[in-house]
A = this chain, B = another copy of it.
Amino acid sequence: MTLVAIVYHSGFGHTKKQAEAVAEGVRQAGAEAALHAAEDFPAPENNQYSGPWDVLAKADAIVFGCPTYMGSVTASLKVFMENSSGVWFQQGWKDKLAGGFSNSGSLAGDKLNTLQDLMCFAGQHSMIWVSLGMMPPGDEAGRAPDKPNRMGGFLGAYAQSNNVSPEEAPPAGDLETARFYGSRIASLAERMSAS
């Protein structure tokens, strides 16, 4: 069965909801989703990786996500990224599919820069980056909070959260975007694995 892992950091729960929506999309496509918070990955000891790292080793695709804090990936996700350097040295994730998502308080903000961080990271791991695969809205109605890809992302999934409880944000359209992206990655991962 195709396995898609999602590694995320969420400061207040909004990005966790986005990550859960990616996982839901993966499952809707008939694949297995493994959802892990970045903080759950133990630092490798003597270059030995264990726990959820083993899941990543088996995954066909890994999707990375975090809020955009001060213009780039969060420190918490970056700790995970740096802890993966032993995997990098062995090129353990080579040719796996990769994807990324980010949430912020602003509609645009610097979310693209966070995706560029994640793409550089995936590039170092010799992974293959999956774009969002959904057209941006063509009119004002398509930019409403309940519409998918309302902000017009291309390289990954964007979400925007108001300063309210994660029960209320990100809005339905952004979660739909995340689900769509999860399904897309799962389908492409299955296609890659089948060959």
Which residues of A does B touch, CB under 8 Å?
A: 69-75, 78-79, 81-82, 84-85, 88, 91, 94-95, 97, 104-113, 116-117, 119-140, 143, 150-155, 158, 162-163, 188, 191-192, 194-195
Q: Which residue of B lies closest to A193 (CB)?
A: B195
Q: Which residues of B contact A109 (CB under 8 A)?
A: 108, 136, 151-154
Specify which of A72, A85, A97, A121 lies most central, judged by the most chain B CB atoms within 10 Å of its CB. Answer: A72
Query: How many subunits of this chain does the assembly comprise?
Result: 4
- CA of A132 to CA of B137, assembled, Å: 26
Please tell me if the beta carbons of B124 and A140 are within 8 angstroms of each other in the complex. no
Q: Which residue of B lies closest to A78 (CB)?
A: B75
Offer 10 A-B interface pairs, CB within 8 angstroms, sorted by A: A71-B117, A71-B124, A72-B120, A72-B121, A97-B128, A105-B138, A107-B108, A109-B154, A110-B112, A128-B129
Please tell me if the beta carbons of B91 and A135 are within 8 angstroms of each other in the complex. yes
- Distance in angstroms from A81 CB to nearest chain B CB is 5
Query: Given known contacts A70-B82, A108-B112, A131-B129, is B154 in contact with A124 (CB within 8 Å)?
Result: yes
- CA of A72 to CA of B75, assembled, Å: 11
Could you list 5 further interchain pairs (A-B, Cβ under 8 angstroms) beyond the known A74-B78, A126-B131, A139-B163? A109-B153, A110-B123, A116-B116, A127-B131, A192-B192
- CA of A15 to CA of B177, assembled, Å: 29
